[in-house]
């Protein structure tokens, strides 16, 4: 007699899935469907008068040049944050993976910033780089750099990129380190015997074997820059100067919370949601092919 390795009927599988499904429904599908519904409404702040306006919120959104600017800002911001945080974290992980004295201390210190809330991370960076208060800003100024994120859009963007990158390096570092430690030593030793130098060993063995980790981190990092960074932007620049650091998610936040424009804000969330779903799908479809599991 053969033992069944699967469940008979549907009851038990569904029961086992229920907690996870319930959480997804309550914390994702329910709010997301609310956002879709809200995006068709025009409401006053108190919700006393409500009009169903079809696609008007979307029309207004796509007629607003500021919204396209937020797209461009998001593209710049997310590219810089992803590339910098991934490459710096990889560098740190490779360095920390070697036999060095006090490796544990370095690792712990590198992981710490992840425990810092985004808004706090923003405040830390503004303390260092505020043109009047910041010590590093003063150093820059005395070195002859006209550092002024209050008015210079590039300076402001640099600052939010730095803060958002710094915050994410820990997370990436942790995963890269785990990935490196799971690469079999024998493979690398074999390469050493074959006479491969460290640089070559890294690119032909370590990096390809790390690719599942890298791919996972790429997806997570994109979700991070798209959704989790508004706290940093809010505390560092408030979207300024003249909207040059206003990203899509920050605009959702400032229009909805600051401006009580729930319909417009909901329409932006829906657009953002569709975009991130599309990007994740593209990543899985095309980039995942290059991943060696």
Q: Which residues bind other proteins (CB under 8 A)?
A: 42-49, 51, 60, 66, 132-133, 150-153, 238-243, 254-255, 257-261
Residue closer to other proteins (CB basis): 40 or 92: 40
Give me the least distance between CB of 274 and other proteins, in Å please. 24
Tell me the pairing of strands 50-52 and 41-43. antiparallel
> Residue 83 corresponds to which tokens in the numbers above?
């590339």
Distances 14 to 11, 27, 64, 254 between C-alpha atoms, Å = 5, 19, 46, 40
Counts for the chain of helices (H) and strands (E), in that order: 14, 2
Residue closer to other proteins (CB basis): 42 or 291: 42
Q: What is the DSSP letter of 114?
A: G
Give me the least distance between CB of 74 and other proteins, in Å please. 17
CB 234 within 8 A of CB 250: yes
Q: Give, for 154, the enclosing helix (H) or strand (E).
A: helix 153-181
Question: How far is the first Cα of the chain from the last one, in angstroms, to the nearest whole number?
Answer: 36
Q: How far is CA 169 from the centre of its chain?
A: 11
Give me the least distance between CB of 194 and other proteins, in Å please. 57
Residue closer to other proteins (CB basis): 66 or 198: 66
Residue closer to other proteins (CB basis): 74 or 85: 74
- Biggest distance spanned by C-alpha atoms of the chain: 84
> Residue 245 corresponds to which tokens in the numbers above?
């650091």
Residue closer to other proteins (CB basis): 85 or 255: 255
Give me the least distance between CB of 76 and other proteins, in Å please. 16
Tokens 């942790």 found at: 174
Residue closer to other proteins (CB basis): 49 or 292: 49
Closest among 85, 134, 107 to 236, alpha carbons compared: 134
R_g (Cα) of the chain, nearest Å: 23
Give me the least distance between CB of 242 and other proteins, in Å please. 4
Residue closer to other proteins (CB basis): 212 or 241: 241
């Amino acid at each position: 007699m053969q033992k069944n390795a699967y469940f008979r009927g549907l009851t038990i599988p569904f029961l086992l899935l229920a907690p996870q499904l319930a959480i997804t429904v309550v914390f994702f599908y329910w709010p997301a469907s609310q956002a879709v519904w809200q995006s068709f409404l025009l409401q006053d702040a108190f919700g006393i008068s409500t009009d169903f306006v079809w696609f008007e919120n979307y029309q207004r959104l796509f007629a607003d040049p500021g919204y396209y600017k937020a797209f461009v800002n998001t593209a710049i911001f997310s590219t810089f944050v992803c590339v910098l945080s991934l490459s710096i974290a990889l560098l740190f992980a490779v360095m920390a993976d070697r036999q060095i004295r006090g490796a544990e201390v370095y690792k712990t210190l590198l992981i710490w910033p992840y425990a810092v809330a985004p808004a706090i991370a923003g405040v830390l960076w503004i303390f260092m780089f505020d043109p009047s208060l910041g010590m590093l800003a003063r150093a820059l100024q005395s070195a002859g750099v006209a550092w002024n994120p209050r008015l210079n859009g590039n300076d402001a963007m640099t600052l939010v990129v730095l803060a958002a990158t710094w915050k994410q390096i820990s997370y990436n570092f942790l995963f890269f380190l785990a990935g490196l430690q799971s690469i079999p030593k024998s493979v690398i030793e074999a390469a050493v015997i074959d006479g491969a130098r460290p640089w070559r060993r890294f690119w032909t063995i370590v990096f390809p074997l790390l690719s599942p980790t890298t791919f996972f981190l790429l997806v997570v990092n994109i979700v991070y820059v798209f959704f989790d960074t508004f706290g940093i932007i809010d505390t560092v620049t408030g979207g300024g100067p003249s909207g040059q650091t206003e990203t899509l998610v920050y605009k959702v936040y400032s229009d909805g919370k600051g401006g009580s424009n729930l319909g417009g804000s909901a329409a932006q969330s829906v657009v953002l949601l569709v975009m991130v779903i599309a990007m994740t799908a593209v990543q899985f479809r095309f980039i995942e092919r290059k991943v060696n599991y």
